[in-house]
Every structure is written in structure tokens, then in C-alpha cells.
Amino acid sequence: MGSAAIINNDMDTRPELTPWLASVFVAPAYTPVFIVSVCTNAQESLSGV
């Protein structure tokens, strides 16, 4: 279906912008917007954001 990662930051010049949602992948068969939303919500829950 898909995957995503949460990382501390991705910009050496803006370390205060944290956490970052990174490396988002959604298989072509699951690209509707609601699937991306589900992945984002799951990552937020797992990271404690």
C-alpha cells in the first residue's frame, strides 16, 4: 500500500522545522488522496506529534 518516515529535520539551515514527513511512497493502485491522508495520520500518531 505505502510507507512514510518521520525524521527530525531535513534542512541544516532550519533545524527548528521538525518533525518532517519524508520518503512518502504510495503504490500506484492506492494513490487517491484519502490513502495519503491515512499514511500521514498514522505517522503523526506514531511520532506523538
14/19 Cα distance (integer angstroms)? 11
- Residue with the larger pLDDT of the pair 31 and 15: 15
30/49 Cα distance (integer angstroms)? 25
Structural domains of the chain, count? 1
**At 13, is the pLDDT very low, low, confident or very high (cuts 50, 70, 90)?**
very high
20/11 Cα distance (integer angstroms)? 10
- Residue 9, pLDDT above cutoff 80: yes
Q: In this prediction, what percent of the chain has a pLDDT beyond 90?
A: 2
Enclosing domain of residue 38: 2-47
